[in-house]
Structure 1
């Protein structure tokens, strides 16, 4: 059921009496949903409110939440893919949680967008026809006494509107798109309801999101203690709760080298637009769509900003394609009309910027074009998720990713499957990508040193056979390129899945834990004694655990900026470009890294510093062990080849040695 969730007008619909105070209460219903109001809900089933039949995983999710609440865990997170019915789950959850202290039975649902408020109100009304539902948003002001209140976070904190709600009367606070929950506005709201720290005397908190991670490094653990259920979009596709997807990557030729990062770690939109919104890139994007998806009926294109939307729309039209666009500045009536026409498949391509990444239900989308590069895994998943909802007659959704290059730190669709960000995909299905990740093609042992093989989303593996010396290996900075595209600091990779950032104040390591499938961030600090003559090092201590390299780097960089100083570890520091010091050259030449000495002027201070760090943390030992392994494999291959060639049958005379045997 496709619901129009644009800037809908709201209608006031009278509802039943609220228990205990005898006045008629109202619920606001989006105008676009009025046609569903006359539908009488079926009788309640045994495991659902208002007879809604839950999917198996939805029931599993609710059961897991209830079990954790019984154990006394109060701040819970639920991770579910876009299109999984998160709104249905948390509205159904409301009736399954008993009153707190026998009397507190109110529920607060907090969201951050108008469309999400309207969607939640609609589902709550269907699920609980006998409960009062109010909205706190803009000009709509709740009484504070309703059974269920849906509030926009902005309105809730405006002019002390939150103070009408008595925290002692609430049993449950639900947060939609809960990856926002550690932002200042949400933290202030959580503190008001007594949820800023774990407490027995507080409502339950349940946060629901498709992307429980943040690019800016803020720790969700500051607001949520337990993720109690997880089902990502790959699981949902395999179990056929979501549409299948095929992925194609296309080189956009956009030069992002000079695009700076914003305060959240993603690309700054102004500079990104200038880099991406060029005639060349726009023409490549349209030609990629024509070549791969011109038969698709409903394509949603994600752009950088309004200027990019307009230019790319015009490029589509120049190629004879009926393409239209919607932005935040589009008048509400025009926006709703264009969106409804797109849902009716009256035209094939809809372009937007920043509107449809969260809380939008357009299930007929069968192609998504990612014309907006991003460093945010969360944003990438949100954009892809727009096309994964089921729809009658829809076989799959084609994701066309206009990718840049590895060195810019772009998160692309291959990285979601643990593949090299630059790996080319052509109509690859999910199961194919998983197979490619789990069984990468073998790399020939005698291949050149610049052969790169995917080693998971966190790193790049290099073969070593063509390095003439340890010095050549240490000088090769390509293995550091990926992590330096994520960080502004001078990280070096010293082993597979192991990285080091070193300075005078100590060092930080990031290392993958194979048993926990996490990246562990540890620090060792150098402490100077008061007289300044002696120093000592602290024991290694864990400062963060993260699900992938990107988030581990965010946590490590935050620690480094506070304790190491920008001058010591910043990649951009001028001292790194100065010639290597005599002390550095003397130290390196003592290690006999190559037959001839390293001469002044051959290295910069930064290069020498990186080599010394790699030597301190085991790269030389790794190099030597790798060569031993390769020599053993070479001997085994020679024996095998000798045996194999003996069995070859060739037309012509036998050689002399064979004739004598």
Structure 2
């Protein structure tokens, strides 16, 4: 029996197969796949593009003219499916065929609702074009002008074989941070996009989080990110709702929670830590204290047990909280979601359901009840509350952060701030102002360090002729310096690798053969130019070179610390053994080796020797790295700075004494 009739314009045309003995059949077009939702006779949609949408499209077209093929677009979470659909449909019309006969377009998505949304929009935008769906029991013909496909269905069996790559000019991918998954990679291979080739169609992937949590693989599918519009820019330009941030430290100890295959916490273990009566009560009380006037809160939990625990905690406090999970039946889910959109109840609790492609614009509070190590997940959760909505002034993000020493990503890290920075009712402008102050302070600190030939020195304004007080971290010995791990806390909260801080704003990641990647803030270039530089210094064999290391080779440059870390991690992950550079390897927690102890104890007093019981391999390796990269010289500089600080403090005290003598007041005179 022929498959079910499917065809967006099946009422007006029939597809006939080559064989005369096979009955004519119709394919999955939108008029049959989405009955009642499409009007094939409707005129084309006339859309007035927003400025950033046109900028995005022009960026894609410009790179295609240069010969680039595999392109990425990064648009803020919360910009909405409308923006994505507008850009996709505009590209369909404006991307030129790279070869004669290459006129078709393929749109890929990984969820049913995304496929249906894209198909619906394409049909409305192009009523004269044939649009078909390849998903589940719906089969496309392979020859439609536009095919919208579920990646799972497309790669099932031999369904992809009917699509002739030479007839396609454009492949569009929604939620493109999934693009390196096996199904997508098989599809790209079929269309000749495993590598960019003149004969292959153009590939354009769009995502709000165009990066992988592992930081390694996106380059296998996308060569260029040609446009980026983050949520801070879109909030400033009023395309997204304003946001207010509050962080609440719960003291939940996640230090023993293991990491899962995706790089984030294992859900079951994390749930056991955060899903307690005490922490759930703290979460609800924090929400009560901060959400006066808020109508619609979306809460994110770890798993089903956490959903149940937090929902019950809300109800115990008299709050009508309801939940939706992946197990919620579809009719009940739709009914409950519609009620939430109407404002029938104030709190909707979920786990993993509303992180991608969810359009609930009335959300005016997002409660992050689950810690995460994934910046992407954090951005996706926050983005649920950024849609504009009538009567909505802003969205309050309440981040229930846990222990910060284990790589937890919190909202301050999105602004380049230390994860331990706790904020209360801070707007985006407030967060940016904090970031600016921190950056200015760091620059002044580094400049002072260079001027004084010392590190970890900062300048603070004082009244009177003596204006500088030098402050720094005190180390009684070089051993205290190399044992201090506070400088690694920030970078290791953002990276899975064993970075070591060897100086102010300078970090290295070493390879087993002695080579290393260096990340440092760059102060030599003009203001506004690159702020961070990533280089590699390769170890050279004595057999071929008289010098131990090669000259530094520049790997990447970036405007932000986050982007620099991502670039450095991506490079290191490809070049260096994962078992050596990962800070979560088991060997790092084993006792230090005899060789490590011998190296370190040579520099210590006989009555202060290190032992394997008190030192791990990982810590010993980090200490040796610091010693090999200038810790002794750095300690000498700190000693110089210490003496200078003493002199400066004495001068300040003398100046203050003179001013006190000048002050006239009732009472005893100052001696």
Structure 2 partner of 1:497? 505
Match of 1:476 in 2: 484
**1:261/1:577 CA distance change after superposition, 3 Å:** farther
Matched residue, 2:372: 374
2:87 pairs with 1:71? no
- Residue 83 of structure 1, aligned match among 78, 83, 87: 78
Q: Deviations over 1:537-572 (max 9, x none)?
A: 666556677714366346535644358598998653
Report what 2:472 is aligned to.
464
Task: Describe the superposition over 1:55-102 as per-residue Cα deviations: whole angstroms up to 9, x where unpaired.
Answer: 111011111111111121111111111232222211222111223324
Match of 2:563 in 1: 547
Q: Is the 8 A contact 2:171 2:202 kept in 1?
A: yes
CA distance in 2: counterparts of 1:196 and 1:129, whole angstroms: 33
Partner of 2:636: 624
The separation in 2 between residues aligned to 1:383 and 1:557, in whole angstroms, is 27
Distance 2:670 2:320 in 1: 75
Matched, 1:126 2:121: no
C-alpha separation between the residues in 2 aligned to 1:124 and 1:19?
20
- CA distance in 1: counterparts of 2:652 and 2:410, whole angstroms: 41
Matches of 2:521 and 2:657 in 1, distance apart? 43
Q: 207, 210, 229: which one pairs with 1:209?
A: 207
Q: Deviations over 1:287-306 (max 9, x none)?
A: 11111114311111111111
Q: Give the match for residue 160 of structure 2.
A: 162
Equivalent runs, 1:320-335 vs 2, <5 Å? 320-335=318-333
Q: Which residue does 2:357 correspond to in 1? A: 359
Instruction: Describe the superposition over 1:139-192 as per-residue Cα deviations: whole angstroms up to 9, x where unpaired.
Output: 111111111111111111001111111111111000111111122221111111
Deviation at 1:212, TM superposition (A): 1.4
User: What pairs with 1:43-192 in structure 2 (closer than 5 Å)?
Assistant: 50-84=45-79, 85-192=83-190
Residue in structure 2 matched with residue 599 of structure 1 by the alignment: 609
Question: Alpha carbons of 1:130 and 1:39: their partners in 2 closer, same or farther (altered >3 Å)?
Answer: closer
Asked if the contact 2:28/2:133 (under 8 Å) is kept, the reply is no
Judge which range, 566-575 or 52-61, deviates more.
566-575
Q: Relative to structure 2, which stretch is displaced further, 477-486 or 175-184?
A: 477-486
Query: Which of 531, 534, 549 is the matching residue for 1:520?
Result: 534
Partner of 1:28: 30
Distance in 2 (CA, whole Å) between partners of 1:359 and 1:95 is: 24
Q: Is the 8 A contact 1:406 1:421 kept in 2?
A: yes
Q: Could you tell me which residue of structure 2 aligns to residue 218 of structure 1?
A: 216
Shift in CA distance, 521/135, structure 1 to aligned 2, threshold 3 Å: farther
| 8 Å contact from structure 1 (residues 504, 526) kept in 2 | no
CA distance in 2 between partners of 1:578 and 1:482 (Å): 30
RMSD: 3.7
Residue in structure 2 matched with residue 318 of structure 1 by the alignment: 316
Q: TM-score, normalised by structure 1?
A: 0.84
Partner secondary structure for residue 522 of structure 1: strand
C-alpha spacing 1:149/1:11, structure 2 compared with 1 (3 Å): closer
Q: CA deviation at 1:497?
A: 3.3
Tell me whether 121-130 or 105-114 shows the greater mean CA deviation: 121-130
Aligned residues: 619
Please, which of 250, 253, 256 is the counterpart of residue 254 of structure 2? 256
Distance 1:569 1:161, change over 3 A: closer
More strand by share: 1
Q: Which residue of 2 aligns with 1:585?
A: 601
* SS of structure 1 residue aligned to 2:289: helix
Counterpart-to-counterpart distance in 2, 1:67 and 1:600: 61
C-alpha distance in structure 2 between counterparts of 1:523 and 1:468, whole Å: 31
Determine the C-alpha separation between the residues in 2 that align with 1:480 and 1:576.
20
Measured after TM superposition, the shift of residue 29 of structure 1 is 7.2
Distance in 1 (CA, whole Å) between partners of 2:457 and 2:287 is 29
User: For residue 336 of structure 2, what is the aligned residue in structure 1?
Assistant: 338
Worse-matched range after superposition: 292-301 or 408-417:
292-301
| SS of corresponding position for 1:439 | helix
Q: SS at the partner of 1:581?
A: helix
**TM-aligned CA distance change 1:422 to 1:15, over 3 Å:** farther
Spell out, residue by residue over 1:244-299, the C-alpha distance to the aligned partner (whole angstroms, 9 max, x if none): 00001111222211111112211111211212211112111111111111431111
* 1:366-515 equivalences in 2 (<5 Å): 366-440=364-438, 464-484=472-492, 490-502=498-510, 505-514=513-522, 515=529
Deviations 1:19-73, CA, capped at 9 Å, x for gaps: 99799765337999957859955xx6xxxxx211111110111111111111211
Instruction: With the length of structure 2 as denominator, give the TM-score of the two structures.
Output: 0.83
Q: Which residue of 2 aligns with 1:610?
A: 622
Classify the secondary structure of the residue corresponding to 1:93. helix
Report the CA distance between 1:241 and its aligned residue: 0.4
User: In the alignment, which residue of structure 2 is the partner of 1:3?
Assistant: none
CA displacement 1:608-635 (0-9 Å, x = unmatched): 5433321211233333334545654664
Question: Per-residue CA shift, 1:506-526, capped at 9, x if unaligned?
Answer: 242341353534562625346
Which secondary structure state, in structure 2, belongs to the residue aligned with residue 408 of structure 1? coil
Q: CA deviation at 1:469?
A: 2.6
Shift of 1:646: 3.8
In structure 1, the residue matched to 2:525 is none
Q: Partners in 2 of 1:165 and 1:150 — Cα distance?
A: 12
- Kept in 1, the 8 Å contact 2:76–2:208? The answer is yes
Q: Which runs of 5+ in 2 are unaligned?
A: 17-23, 446-455, 459-469, 523-528
State whether residues 286 and 316 of structure 1, in contact with CA within 8 Å, keep that contact through their aligned partners in structure 2. yes
Query: Separation in 2 of the partners of 1:30 and 1:360?
Result: 25
Which has the higher mean CA deviation after the structures are superposed, 328-337 or 289-298?
A: 289-298
Structure 2 CA distance for aligned equivalents of residues 575 and 548 of structure 1: 32
Are residues 647 and 303 of structure 1, via their aligned partners in 2, closer, same or farther at CA, if it must alter by over 3 Å?
Answer: same
Residues 652/404 of structure 1: CA separation in 2 closer, same or farther (3 Å cut): same
2:584 is the counterpart of 1:572: no
8 Å contact kept, 1:505–1:564: no
CA–CA separation in structure 1 for the residues paired with 2:173 and 2:223: 14
